[in-house]
A and B are shown apart, each in its own frame.
Chain A
């Protein structure tokens, strides 16, 4: 079969190359709190406003490019866009008074103020470059520490609102696209294995969300007892192994069940090109398949980065912002279908 020979001929790419298509992005988050202040959940509005003012002042000296904006003052569509880009959480959006956000222009660093903790400092990077994401977050954290008295103890480290974050306060997460393993029916043992190794496995939307589009967030469970670089090395090592497993699954799909793969791609492309109404979750499932096709070189005129851009563009906030109007859910489904059919109109399968 043509696909089988293509699989045999395909060279085994190096890890960074694989990571670019399978590991979509990574993030390091540091939870920090100010000494002598109530944690945001138990603080009064005035307490939270005071913390916001203190953090804003520290940021204005240490990182003037990061301007803190109160969440209440951000337009709804912009708030949704920040959330969809995984820069801020839904919990912060729900925080009426005292919630703040500061995002670097290039999106490499973001600070949430008065979310679960007073500060959530986040560094972002592409692929599996968790160390790069950590260095960004760490540099900002060290700078802020010169101006803020963090709640910290020699025994428990950084003191956080929830004891599950105490210690380093560090959560290193990688967004993995694991459709190959899913199509082979092997995703569950992989997820179980990750959980046995004390890693958290969540859906694309973070805590409590489903792995829509077979996109998983994998992060460290333990934050106490291992230093920051040790945590990062461990998450990187394990996620690299998952990336290799996903790559092997994709090769096996081509070799062993090419029809299953091609059927999945053809159906998805067909729906995206012809549907008149598409809900977000539904669209994500089909785009996920197309992403797999693009990563495996099975689609013409389509790169993985194109699909990643579409995954973002078709989300409710991005869609409305892009069209410059507010829409109902039904209207959005219609516009999403139209947008996606236009964007993938010229894409064809090579098989």
Chain B
């Protein structure tokens, strides 16, 4: 396969570059890969770009990777998920290793669940159950199920859920609501 940039030399590596807000993956020759990396790198890094070959091979590979990560990272930031409750972005909590609010656990569940399992080697809470928070949680779950049942016109189930909700004690949300 020929290089997708110069169309002369054989393609030896893949690079990613941003074109009009989209990340494209191109198969290019070493020369074009080098050129792309230098132009994508910040000015101070570009100034230190070693001459190709010999001692420059390892730093060059690092720079190619850095540039690729930077480009991909920028593209990802644009579609980066945010917590609907506190507005924190994924890279923000990653930077500090601290979440923005309790709702972040739902908002970033996909990657957090894996991280939590790595941290604790467990995925399910065992132990103390706060009665008040549990009651609020149950109420919220029933409300979600009721709304879903009404939406899908499962009226018998909806009536049963409504009755179940009515049997629950009145929630005290004066000092915070459910997570």
Contacts and interface: CB of A to CB of B under 8 A. Distances in A.
12 contacts: A35-B176, A36-B101, A36-B102, A37-B101, A39-B100, A138-B128, A149-B176, A149-B178, A152-B130, A152-B179, A154-B137, A225-B120
Interface of B: 85-86, 88, 96-102, 105, 112, 115-116, 119-134, 136-137, 172-173, 175-179
Contacts of B134: 152, 154
Contacts of B133: 35, 145, 149-152
B179 A42 contact: no
Contacts of A168: 125, 127-128
Which of A35, A146, A151, A226 has the largest number of chain B CB atoms within 10 A?
Answer: A35
A156 interface: yes
Contacts of A227: 126-128
B99 A149 contact: no
A42 B177 CA distance: 18
A38 B125 contact: no
Contact of B175 (A58, A157, A170, A223): A58
A58 B176 CA distance: 13
Contacts of A41: 96, 98
Interface residues of A, number: 46
Interface in A163-180: 163-164, 166-168, 170
Contact of A157 (B97, B127, B136): B127
Contact of B125 (A37, A54, A116, A167): A167
Given A36-B179, A42-B88, A224-B122, A156 B116 contact: yes
Interface of A: 33-39, 41-42, 54, 58, 116, 138, 141, 145-159, 161-164, 166-168, 170, 198, 222-228, 230
A343 to B, nearest CB: 43
A222 B112 CA distance: 16
Contacts of B121: 198, 222, 225
A38 B127 contact: no
Given A36-B179, A38-B100, A145-B131, A152 B137 contact: yes
B122 A39 contact: no
Nearest to B141: A154
Contacts of A223: 120
B177 to A, nearest CB: 4
B153 to A, nearest CB: 29
A12 B105 CA distance: 51
A155 B178 contact: no
Given A33-B102, A149-B172, 8 more contacts: A34-B175, A35-B176, A116-B98, A138-B128, A153-B137, A155-B124, A170-B127, A225-B126
Nearest to B171: A149
A222 B96 CA distance: 20
Contacts of A149: 132-133, 136, 172-173, 175-178
Contact of A226 (B85, B86, B127, B172): B127
Nearest to B131: A145
Contacts of B100: 38-39, 42
Contacts of A225: 120-126
Contacts of B112: 163
Given A153-B137, A156-B125, A227-B128, A162 B98 contact: yes
A39 B97 CA distance: 12
Contacts of A170: 127
